Amino acid sequence: MNFSRLKPAAWLAGWMLLTASISAAVKTEVVEYRDGDTVLEGYVAYDPAAGARPAVLVVHQWMGLGDYEKKRCEMLAELGYTAFAVDIYGKGIRPGTPGEAGKLAGQYKGDRALFRRRLNVGLEKMRQLASVERGHIAAIGYCFGGTGVLELARAGAEVRGVVSFHGGLGSPTPADAKNIKTRVLACHGADDPFVPAEEVAGFEKEMREGGVDWQLIAYGGAVHSFTDWRATGAMKGAQYNEKADKRSWEAMKTFLGEVMK
Give residue-wise pLDDT tens across range 210-233. Answer: 999 999 999 999 999 999 999 998
pLDDT in tens, 182-216: 999 999 999 999 999 999 999 999 999 999 999 99
> What local confidence, expressed as pLDDT, does residue 233 receive?
85
Average pLDDT, the chain: 93
Chain centroid to CA 102: 18
Return the minimum-mean-pLDDT range out of 12-16, 54-58, 73-77, 107-111.
Answer: 12-16
Return the minimum-mean-pLDDT range out of 61-70, 74-83, 167-176, 229-238.
Answer: 229-238
Closest by CA to 181, choosing from 157, 205, 214, is: 157
> What is Dmax (Cα atoms) for the chain?
50
Q: How confident is the model at residue 45 (pLDDT cuts 50, 70, 90)?
A: very high
pLDDT in tens, 121-152: 999 999 999 999 999 999 999 999 999 999 99
CATH topology for 3-259 is Rossmann fold (3.40.50)
Q: Is the pLDDT of residue 248 over 50?
A: yes
CA angle 192, 194, 200 (to 5 degrees): 70
